[in-house]
Amino acid sequence: MATQTPDVQLEDQWRDILSVHARTMCEIDRALHPHGLGASDFEVLDILASGAVSEPGEHCRVQNIAGRVHLSQSALSRLIGRLEKDGLVERTVCEEDRRGVWVALTGKGRDLHAEVLPLQRSVLARMLRG
């Protein structure tokens, strides 16, 4: 059997990464669906809850979240709009820069995040440690 070239090895490694990502996202979607969330919804709630782009429990700029999730700015805006409609986050305009938009978890969003966090982490453990 011929050995693979470095380029073929890289392609195979890349496809393996994409496959793990796709399967993991589908499993997270499946686990969170009964709670009205998808994997991307959870990512935004998790970023806000963790304080990864702000202090925990405080508001942060939407553009800071965009740097952490793999969504276009417009897709992220639509997702945040859905979360706001569901009462999970609230948006406000930045007083210093009227173009900026702040987003923060509501109490309902914080409670839902805490409820589904173990489900998401369980999927990650199962999919990524195996």
* Residue 31, token pair as written in the block: 């686990």
Q: Where would I find the H helices in the chain?
A: 6-32, 39-50, 62-66, 73-85, 107-128
100 compared with 113, residue with greater pLDDT: 113
Convert the pLDDT of each residue in 29-45 to its tens digit. 999 999 999 999 999 99
Residue partners of 86: CB distance under 8 A and separation at least 6: 36
How far is residue 70's CA from residue 88's CA, in Å, rounded to a whole number? 20
- What pTM value is reported for the model? 0.84
Lowest mean pLDDT: which of 3-17, 48-62, 95-109, 115-129? Answer: 48-62
How far is residue 70's CA from residue 75's CA, in Å, rounded to a whole number? 10
Q: What are phi and psi of 26, to 5 degrees?
A: -65, -40
Convert the pLDDT of each residue in 67-80 to its tens digit. 888 888 899 999 99
Say what the pLDDT of residue 1 is: 58
Say what the pLDDT of residue 6 is: 86
Lowest mean pLDDT: which of 6-10, 37-41, 114-118, 121-125? Answer: 6-10
Nearest to 105 by CA among 53, 63, 46, 64: 46
- Name the percent of the chain lying above pLDDT 90: 63
Say what the pLDDT of residue 25 is: 96
